[in-house]
Amino acid sequence: MSRRAPGPGLLKFMRGVRKHGLIDYVGQLWREYGDVFHVRIGPKRIVCVMHPDAVAHVNMDNRRNYEKRASYDAVRDFLVGNGIVASNGDLWRRQRRLMAPFYTPKAIQTYADMMVRDGVRLAEHWGQYAESGAEIDMHEEMTMVTASIILKAMFSKESHESILQMKDAAGKMLAIVNDRMMGVPVPTWLPTKKNRGYHAARRLSREVIQGLIAERKGMDEADWPDDLLSRMMKARDEETGRGMDDQLLHDETLTIYFAGHETTARSLTFAWYALATNPAVTERLHEELDRVLGGRLPTVEDLRQLPYTLQVVKEVLRLYPAVTVYARDAVAADEIGGYEVPAGSSVLLWSYYTHRHPDFWENPETFDPDRWTRERESERHNYAYHPFAAGPRVCLGNNFSLLESHLLLAVLASRFDVQLRPGYRARWIMDGTLGLADGLPMSITAR
């Protein structure tokens, strides 16, 4: 017989979050109540789960019972419409089948040279910063380079101005979604500054994307560049022979823009933080990069010879998973870890805490890329690590992101060392994804 999961009352929860911040307070609740606990908000039950068995249950074993319903309303309504991140059922299945071939490890290799070129362009700027001693905000730097890469992968073109435009629009749109998710239900028709910014941003992003689709349609198909937009426009469903209509193309394009760079930007930012705070890791990273590359640029073929660089990336995604938590809505009543999950509950899967679970990770707070040797990986519970979620709805762009991080780190870390601003202390926050309250001020020195 399953029991009701323990958990704090709403007032205690709200006071705790205000006092300690969401991430730390959830950690305290985990220590107090265990691997499954719940918070009731009005008639709704929010069930938080941390254990790898629960991750397997929701994402794999009983996945048909877990959809993206009410928990994704804000993302659907205010951001990406029917894009694949928020869709369900037949639409999701069809779109996943249609788009999965664009993101296989082989398919994304076509973007590797472009990723390296963008890394080199950034390295040229960093050379100037290193000379002048100017301080940079690493998050800003990583956002610009990952936005540039995803825009090129999608549309084969990018100007500094278009990156800034899309970046600004994305920020304004996300601000509304974050408010909704944090329970601030201000109607978007009210003429507040934030709402006006949101509507203008939505108009702008729609115009930009529709313009790009129209431009592509105006070209001879034989001249279409081999980018994600062309791949999406050419794709035909194997059963019906149908492609995507313009609305769906728009929604999927916007989805990939949002899903495809900020998460990687944050992970790379945390990688620099980890390197600055773990000199022994940096030393081993440099040793590998110097030995294998000897000062030249990396190619895809080199990556197999750079395992430690990838281990650093994987460890960053363990300790600082950009998508700290993700949600599924229970369709019918269920049971997790002996506790009841009523129909309609929202189940929150906290990768941040699964990745720190003491039953699966030794010294979980220590940044240790050696956890990622093949032997140690094979000994671990399959679902103890889920920075990209897991099961059929695993991140579509995980290979893209790993390739991008692996290459950028190789290009930049072989040329530069980074230092935190003296006295800087990281304050972690959740603003949709995991972030640093004060950015990441750093100085750079050439190696």
Could you report how far apart the first and last alpha carbons of the chain are, in Å?
62
Q: Which of 7, 298, 387, 435 is in the footprint of ligand HEM by CB under 6 A?
A: 387
Q: Count residues near ligand HEM (CB under 6 A).
A: 22
Q: Which of these segments, 1-9, 118-126, 241-249, 318-326, binds ligand HEM (CB under 6 A)?
A: 318-326
In angstroms and rounded to an integer, the radius of gyration of the C-alpha atoms of the chain is 22
Q: How far is the CB of 260 from ligand HEM (least distance, A)?
A: 3
Token pair of 98 as six digits: 């249609």
Residue 323 CB-density burial (10 A; 0-12 exposed, 13-18 middle, 19+ buried)? buried
Q: Does 256 sit near ligand HEM (CB under 6 A)?
A: yes
- Nearest by Cα to 153 from 395, 403, 413: 403
Q: Which of these segments, 134-142, 165-173, 296-304, 319-327, binds ligand HEM (CB under 6 A)?
A: 319-327
Q: Do residues 113 and 155 lie in contact, with contact meaning Cβ atoms separated by under 8 Å?
A: no
Q: Does 96 sit near ligand HEM (CB under 6 A)?
A: yes
Q: Looking at beta carbons only, is 405 or 414 nearer to ligand HEM?
A: 405
The rounded distance, in Å, linking the Cα atoms of 92 and 238 is 15
Q: Does 84 sit near ligand HEM (CB under 6 A)?
A: yes
Q: How far is the CB of 146 from ligand HEM (least distance, A)?
A: 8
Q: Which of 400, 406, 412, 413 is in the footprint of ligand HEM by CB under 6 A?
A: 400
Residue nearest to ligand HEM (CB): 397
Bridge partners, 291 (sequence order): none
Q: Does 322 sit near ligand HEM (CB under 6 A)?
A: yes
Beta strands in 283-415 (DSSP E): 325-330, 334-336, 339-341, 346-350
Q: Does 323 sit near ligand HEM (CB under 6 A)?
A: yes
Q: Does 85 sit near ligand HEM (CB under 6 A)?
A: yes
Q: Looking at beta carbons only, is 136 or 396 nearer to ligand HEM?
A: 396
Q: Does 260 sit near ligand HEM (CB under 6 A)?
A: yes
The rounded distance, in Å, linking the Cα atoms of 278 and 169 is 36
Q: Which of these segments, 131-139, 211-219, 257-265, 375-383, binds ligand HEM (CB under 6 A)?
A: 257-265
Instruction: Please give the DSSP secondary-structure letter assigned to residue 387.
Output: B
Q: Do residues 210 and 246 lie in contact, with contact meaning Cβ atoms separated by under 8 Å?
A: yes
Beta strands in 103-170 (DSSP E): 136-137
Residue 306: how many CA atoms within 13 Å on its side-chain side? Answer: 31
Q: Looking at beta carbons only, is 69 or 286 nearer to ligand HEM?
A: 69
Q: Does 401 sit near ligand HEM (CB under 6 A)?
A: yes
The rounded distance, in Å, linking the Cα atoms of 408 and 387 is 19
Q: Does 263 sit near ligand HEM (CB under 6 A)?
A: yes
Under the rule (CB under 6 A), what is the footprint of ligand HEM?
Answer: 84-85, 96, 255-256, 259-260, 263-264, 267, 322-323, 326, 387-389, 393, 395-397, 400-401
